[in-house]
Structure 1
Amino acid sequence: MEFSKVFIMNICILTTLTYTAMLVHKYVLSQASGLLKYVFSVVLAIGAGWLTMYFSFNLGPDIKFDLRFVPLIICTLAYSNPLTLLVIGAGIGAARLTFGLQSAAWAGCWNLVLLGVLCMILNIVLKRVGWRFWEKMTVIIVSVNLMNCLNVAMLGTIPFHLFVTDIAPIILPISIVLSGFFVFMLRDFQIERLRVAELQFAHDSLQKQTDQLMEARQALEEKAGQLMLSSQYKSEFLANMSHELRTPLNSIIALSQFISDQEKPTGEQSETSEYAAIIHASGQELLRLIDDILDLSKVEAGRMEILNEEVIISEVTYVLQYHFRHMAEQKGLQFTVQLEPELPAFIYTDALRLQQILRNLLSNAFKFTATGSVKLHVWKPEREQTGHPGSWIAFSVRDTGIGIAEPMQEPIFEAFQQADGSISRKYGGTGLGLSISRALAELLGGYLELSSAAGEGSTFTLFLPYR
């Protein structure tokens, strides 16, 4: 029973020393060199063996029983260099001599040296086989404990017959069980420490990635701010330049109109009148382009003012019908305006911007329609058609023109975009009308939809809320 108490005390000492060593390694030697950590671990193993001898079971005046060989077992599983095990074994053996230089002390010293040699051999052999950890642990524990008992019996410190019959049957099973328990406990503790270390590493990696993402986000926000500022400067520049260009252009248009009206169509004067008319028409076209750029820049710069007022639907359609009637007659197209009977008499919106959107849609319809018809249809959609609550009014412009292929139906709403390069060459235009119309529709609280197919005409529908 005394053997068990001493051995259990040895296990407690070794456990406490191991845990203390881990704390020192973590908080004191974390930044130390590899050589210093190596020397510290070797000295610690020798010191652990010395402590077990200090709290050993004294069978006689010079005979000690303890678990001084357990650090060798642990080191056999932990170290890759087999010579280190011989150094530790010799160091623990030399530590036995600190308790006296009697024959029993020298026997204990040689016992640890021989155990060091055994552990060195086991370390070399077990590295070459593909055994699992628990298989290696069992072989080392049993081999070291058997070798320890054999050395004690052979070195003659205790009578051979007495050791084999009375002492070995007690201390061998106890030392094997306690050695296995300590290794198991240390292994479990080591696995837990590794798991904590992996979690800490994962946390540090995640924190590093988070910091990198935050830095990238900050950089993107800064770039986005710069882009917004650049866009604002561009829009303000276009707005100011468009406004400044209107003044001389209006003078050119007025003077060309004056010259055209004053000249009579005879001889050389007729050519002057014709040139003036060309200048006047070109000036009007340039003025419309400047107006479109001005409107687009105002929308992008957030300077477009919207006036919410009562707008009579029939008046809007009458003005549009009157405006495009002559164009329809010139191209030989049928132009109709249809108002559904369930429509309200008026809606609340900006009359000027509403007419601008519809004029753009009708202008495109007439431009791209050679034969057939153009129709303006005003109707009241159901809630399922809009997907929005409240009352809505729809203005549909349907034509029988060239139509738009599906891949190009979204890009044509972008500024300076048309269905393809041949469109601008054949029909002219800058591609600003639909971009401005969509932006104005959003400012009015509505949206534009397109239904079209190549060669089958197009239908542009403006949805606006009643209020």
Structure 2
Amino acid sequence: MEYIKIFFVNTALLITLAYLANFVYKHIAFLIPPRANRWIWVVVAIFAGWLSSFFGYRLSDHVIFDLRIVPLIITTLAFPQPMILIIVGVGIGLMRLTFGVSPAAAAGVINLSIIGFVCAAASPWFRRSSAPLTIKGLVVILGVNVLNAINISIFGVIPAYKYMTEIVPYTLPAGTILSILFCLIARDFHLEHRRMKQIEQANELLSKQTEELHKNKIVLEERAKQLMLASQYKSEFLANMSHELRTPLNGIINLSELIAESDSSSDPEDLRTYGSMIRRSGGELLMLISDILDLSKVEAGKLEVLHEAVNITEIPVQLSGQFELVARQKGLDFQVNLEEGLPETIYSDSQRIQQILRNLLSNAFKFTHQGGVSLIIRGEKRLQGSREALWMVFEVQDSGIGIPKDKHTSIFEAFQQADGTISRQYGGTGLGLSISMNLARLLGGFISLESQEGKGSIFSLHLPAEAQ
């Protein structure tokens, strides 16, 4: 009965140690890396084996019976890794020497070392076997307890017959049952740790999801704002477009009626004037429709550009003839400067270049009331891969009303202008800059803007001199 009593004392001590370890694990272990946790466990397991021996049953001065095999059993179930099991087994065995060096202590070292190596050899089966954890746990507990009894009968100082007949009938069943009890308690600890870890992971996941939802909410609010603005801009565009279309159409209709109602006595000069006005109104209408069609083609990816040799000197000549009249009518200076040393030709689409520059010059004249407008054509070197390449820069400068910095990006978007009242005051659809920017990209270039409110603007078209 003394064996059973001391085994219960051993179990109580191990349970107490387990509870303390569990408490420390809850509050400290999560701060320690997983690899370090394993080696801390090795130290705790060896200490638990020493504690069991310290409070073990002393049959004589050197013979101690205890449950020092239990920490090795738990290690086999918790960390089935050969090196860890060998270290724990040998470590617990060596701790037996702290109670005195004797044949019984040597037998204890050999016994625990053999059990450690056997558990290490069996660990691959434990990891890979598909058997339930309960079955694997019972196999380990029974195997270690039986092996412990066999080792003591072989290497121990007590005669084998006496040990097997007088001691094993008490120690083997008691050790096995108490090992099972302790394993069940350890299993509860493990399940509690797993539940706590799952709760922590769930909380972390919920925190991430909450953060993501908050970010998505901000994105959705921003998109809703953009959609509202887009809807507002499109409404303004439709209102402006209806006005822009009606004005030339009404002019064409009214002037056509006047011509139709005229007789032979009508002044031919008046008829020619009406015809010129009809032609001008038709041209304005055609430009509006062309802008809308160009924008729809760009958005659909159907607008094509033709790369061919473009004579640089022809561009200012063609644009000068068109805008000199506008400059005289508004009392503005208009200058075109071509930098010296430029190549005679570049490879691009002449029609699209002129379309972009017409849009930029039209805007410059539209928003300039005094001073002047200038077109400067110059070259610049830009890094293209590992080499420098020549780019052409077409700068349209004006001394007009300027553009606020916060509108420098939005004015290049379709249906938008720097101010919603601009369309009503100056006319236009707000499509010119959007179309120009998209055309510049199709040509392999881009448009940059420098402007301050009240201090004029510089729109620069940058194009590669060679086809991209």
TM superposition score normalised by structure 1: 0.51
The alpha-carbon deviation at position 213 of structure 1 amounts to 3.4
Report what 2:359 is aligned to: none
Unaligned stretches of 5+ residues in structure 2: 287-468
The alpha-carbon deviation at position 220 of structure 1 amounts to 2.1
| Larger displacement relative to structure 2 (256-265 or 27-36) | 256-265
Report what 2:13 is aligned to: 13
Report what 1:399 is aligned to: none
Q: Within 5 A, what are the aligned runs for 1:114-125?
A: 114-124=114-124
The alpha-carbon deviation at position 161 of structure 1 amounts to 4.6
Task: State how far apart, in whole Å, the 2-side matches of 1:223 and 1:129 are.
Answer: 54
User: Which amino acid in 1 is paired with 2:170?
Assistant: I
Report what 1:167 is aligned to: 167
Q: Cα–Cα, structure 1 residues 75 and 256, in superposed 2: closer, same or farther, change >3 Å?
A: same
The alpha-carbon deviation at position 268 of structure 1 amounts to 8.0
Say if 1:259 and 1:273, in contact at 8 Å, map to a contact too. no
Report what 1:235 is aligned to: 235
Unaligned stretches of 5+ residues in structure 1: 287-467
Tell me whether 1:190 sits opposite 2:183 in the alignment. Answer: no
Q: Within 5 A, what are the aligned runs for 1:122-271?
A: 122-124=122-124, 126=126, 130-239=130-239, 242=242, 261=261, 263=263
Report what 1:441 is aligned to: none
Q: Cα–Cα, structure 1 residues 206 and 187, in superposed 2: closer, same or farther, change >3 Å?
A: same
Task: State how far apart, in whole Å, the 1-side matches of 2:4 and 2:145 are.
Answer: 15
Say if 1:53 and 1:68, in contact at 8 Å, map to a contact too. yes
Task: State how far apart, in whole Å, the 2-side matches of 1:135 and 1:182 are.
Answer: 16
Name the Cα RMSD after superposition: 4.1
Say if 1:263 and 1:273, in contact at 8 Å, map to a contact too. no
The residue matched to 1:67 in structure 2 has which SS? coil
Task: State how far apart, in whole Å, the 1-side matches of 2:125 and 2:243 are.
Answer: 92
Deviations 1:285-328 (A, max 9, x none): 99xxxxxxxxxxxxxxxxxxxxxxxxxxxxxxxxxxxxxxxxxx
Say if 1:263 and 1:272, in contact at 8 Å, map to a contact too. no
User: Which amino acid in 1 is paired with 2:151?
Assistant: N
Aligned identity (percent) is: 42
Tell me whether 1:60 sits opposite 2:60 in the alignment. Answer: yes
The residue matched to 1:149 in structure 2 has which SS? helix
The alpha-carbon deviation at position 251 of structure 1 amounts to 6.7
The alpha-carbon deviation at position 122 of structure 1 amounts to 3.0
The residue matched to 1:30 in structure 2 has which SS? helix
Deviations 1:60-102 (A, max 9, x none): 3333221100111122223343233222111111111112223
Tell me whether 1:92 sits opposite 2:59 in the alignment. Answer: no
Q: Cα–Cα, structure 1 residues 175 and 90, in superposed 2: closer, same or farther, change >3 Å?
A: same
User: Which fold has the larger relative contact order, with Cα–Cα distance below 8 Å and residues 6 or more apart in sequence?
Assistant: 2
Q: Cα–Cα, structure 1 residues 266 and 239, in superposed 2: closer, same or farther, change >3 Å?
A: closer
Q: Cα–Cα, structure 1 residues 83 and 242, in superposed 2: closer, same or farther, change >3 Å?
A: closer
Deviations 1:115-160 (A, max 9, x none): 2233233335555655332232222212221222233333343344
Q: Cα–Cα, structure 1 residues 263 and 70, in superposed 2: closer, same or farther, change >3 Å?
A: same
Say if 1:264 and 1:273, in contact at 8 Å, map to a contact too. no
Task: State how far apart, in whole Å, the 2-side matches of 1:75 and 1:160 are.
Answer: 29
The residue matched to 1:178 in structure 2 has which SS? helix
The alpha-carbon deviation at position 176 of structure 1 amounts to 0.4
Task: State how far apart, in whole Å, the 2-side matches of 1:34 and 1:199 are.
Answer: 18
Which structure has the bigger radius of gyration?
A: 1
User: Which amino acid in 2 is paired with 1:79?
Assistant: F
Task: State how far apart, in whole Å, the 2-side matches of 1:253 and 1:83 are.
Answer: 98
Say if 2:22 and 2:189, in contact at 8 Å, map to a contact too. no
Task: State how far apart, in whole Å, the 2-side matches of 1:46 and 1:63 are.
Answer: 19
User: Which amino acid in 2 is paired with 1:97?
Assistant: L
The alpha-carbon deviation at position 20 of structure 1 amounts to 3.7
User: Which amino acid in 1 is paired with 2:231?
Assistant: S
Say if 1:89 and 1:116, in contact at 8 Å, map to a contact too. yes
Q: Within 5 A, what are the aligned runs for 1:314-325?
A: none
Say if 1:89 and 1:113, in contact at 8 Å, map to a contact too. yes
The residue matched to 2:62 in structure 1 has which SS? coil
Task: State how far apart, in whole Å, the 2-side matches of 1:107 and 1:80 are.
Answer: 25
Say if 1:76 and 1:122, in contact at 8 Å, map to a contact too. no
Q: Cα–Cα, structure 1 residues 78 and 262, in superposed 2: closer, same or farther, change >3 Å?
A: same
User: Which amino acid in 2 is paired with 1:37?
Assistant: N
Task: State how far apart, in whole Å, the 1-side matches of 2:152 and 2:207 are.
Answer: 57
The alpha-carbon deviation at position 108 of structure 1 amounts to 2.2
